[in-house]
Amino acid sequence: MFNTVFKKLLSVYLIVILIIFTVLAVSMIKMFENYYFEKRSEALIAEGQKLNSTVIKYLNNQVTYERLEMEMESIERFLNAKIWIIDKMGYVYGVSSKSETKWIGRQLTEGDIVSVLKGNIIAKRGSYDTYFGSPVMTVGIPIFINGKVENGIFMHSPIYEIKETLKETYKIIVYSMLISMIIAVVLLYFISEKISRPIKEMNKITKIIASGEFDKRVTIMSRDEIGQLAVSFNNMAEELNKLEEMRKGFIADVSHELRTPLTLIKGYVKGLMDKEIAEEKRGEYLDIIYKETDRLTELINNLLDLSRMELGKNILNIEKFDINELIRRNIINYSNKLEEKEINVEANFKYDPILVMADKESISRVISNLVDNGIKFMNSGGSLFISTDVRENKAIISIRDTGVGIPEEDINNIWQRFYKGDKSRSRKVKGTGLGLAIVKEIIKNHNEQIWVKSRIGEGTEFTFTLKLGDKNEERRELLNN
């Protein structure tokens, strides 16, 4: 039954409105009823006190009983209230109408009689013992003579008459509540529909996106939480679309990178199968096949490493080591390549040693990739500048080459998998196209930063940060040197 947000919202709102209106209606009816009874009792007490003086005059033989009776009849007609006058023993000796003469001479034992004869003014509602067949409102007023209670006045007004008067008030309250409820229900319907409509639309678009159409968007103009959710939903859809494009591009790049060496391997294997091939060619073909197989192995290993890093499964072995010494070892590893291209290396270590806290093997891979990258894109006779420094509790490592440089429009793309800015040279420059992507992930996993500066024809500079080792020990090491 309540299987949609719209139904749930509308149901909850209706229940809340119904409860509020019911409580409000009952409260207002009770309030008006109490107010009317209070005013009625005040009117009875006021008239009773006026009658009080006439009763005292009668007791002092200043007026006749007929005059007293006439005044009581007048009040009865005015307020529709039966009036009794009792003596201090509780006997009725005066009534407001001739139809009430049966009560004259009768002694009343009601507890309220005792209270009035003690000097208290009372006002109550309900049945009055067995004297009346229906509920009445009773007011009792003591009569003082020379400071003592000598008599009392009781006035009884039928409650049914009061309730008949209140019925019109009840009708107005109920009708007003019903009209307000109808208006509230209509407004709630449209409000609930307005709230649930964008959710329905997002649900519909979600199903479409789940089917593979990532270009769909939600069109909601509101600025409330629903609108903010719609903006977030559209941003998510945009990111999914980008991921899908990256996935397609990644598959295309991997296919290209795998197809080329496989095609070469297949061609040379076919050549080896030719029995007439010269023996010297056979060795050359085997050497090419070995190199392409090695390239495939490197590509697959790099892909696995990068995927593991991106999934957060690459466990770092954080230790303290000298970053300058690690750079020296990496330069030595590339000594042959540096000599082949006659590249000059200049190292500038402002402090030596500089102890850092990082995964030594991973950082060695970063340095190796950046140095190798610089060598690849430098002509013979170029220079490679490596520097380290300490700033703001961070070790700063920079590797700059005098190579061809990177176009400004390609700067933000160099961290992508298989990205090679110069397409015409992509096959001439050896590599898998994953080196900088791996570098970026390693630095990211260390919660550090890496950035690049480059100008065409002048070269490229990569700079990254690392966390320093123990500050006190590091400071002592730097001062000693």
Mind listing the pLDDT tens digit for each residue in 22-68?
A: 888 788 878 877 888 888 888 888 888 888 888 888 888 888 888 88
Q: In which domain, by residue range, is 24 found?
A: 5-164
pLDDT band at 334 (very low <50, low <70, confident <90, very high): confident
For residues 475 and 343, membership in a common domain is answered with yes
| Per-residue pLDDT tens over the stretch 453-473 | 888 888 899 999 998 886 544
pLDDT of the residue at 426: 43
Q: Indicate which CATH number applies to the domain containing 423.
A: 3.30.565.10
For residues 140 and 253, membership in a common domain is answered with no
For residues 111 and 77, membership in a common domain is answered with yes
Contact 374, 403 (CB under 8 A): yes
Contact 181, 155 (CB under 8 A): no
Decide if pLDDT at 433 tops 80.
Answer: no
For residues 464 and 326, membership in a common domain is answered with yes
Boundary of a domain, candidates 255, 289, 310? 310
Q: Say if 454 falls within a structural domain.
A: yes
38: tokens are 């209070």
Number of domains the chain is built from: 3
For residues 324 and 303, membership in a common domain is answered with no
Enter the DSSP assignment of 311: T
Q: Say if 206 falls within a structural domain.
A: no
Q: Indicate which CATH number applies to the domain containing 17.
A: 3.30.450.20
Boundary of a domain, candidates 136, 164, 192? 164
In 3D space, the residue among 367, 373, 362 whose CA is nearest the CA of residue 420 turns out to be 373
441's enclosing H/E stretch is helix 435-445
pLDDT of the residue at 463: 92
Alpha-carbon distance of 246 to 293, in angstroms, equals 27
Compute CA 125 distance to the chain's CA centroid, rounded to the nearest angstrom.
Answer: 55
Exposure string over 264-276, b if 16+ CB within 10 A, otherwise e: bbeebeeeeeeee
For residues 234 and 349, membership in a common domain is answered with no
Unique residue bearing structure tokens 């009117």:
43
Which of these ranges, 116-130, 147-161, 174-188, 209-223, has the smallest mean pLDDT? 209-223
Alpha-carbon distance of 227 to 219, in angstroms, equals 9
For residues 134 and 265, membership in a common domain is answered with no
Q: What type of residue is 420?
A: K
| Per-residue pLDDT tens over the stretch 1-19 | 556 666 777 777 778 888 8
In 3D space, the residue among 371, 367, 329 whose CA is nearest the CA of residue 466 turns out to be 367
SS3 152: strand
Q: Say if 209 falls within a structural domain.
A: no
Boundary of a domain, candidates 164, 181, 200? 164
Which of these ranges, 90-99, 250-259, 267-276, has the smallest mean pLDDT? 250-259
For residues 108 and 128, membership in a common domain is answered with yes
pLDDT of the residue at 162: 67
For residues 252 and 395, membership in a common domain is answered with no
Report, as an integer, the average pLDDT of 186-196. 77
The model's pTM is: 0.48
Contact 421, 413 (CB under 8 A): yes
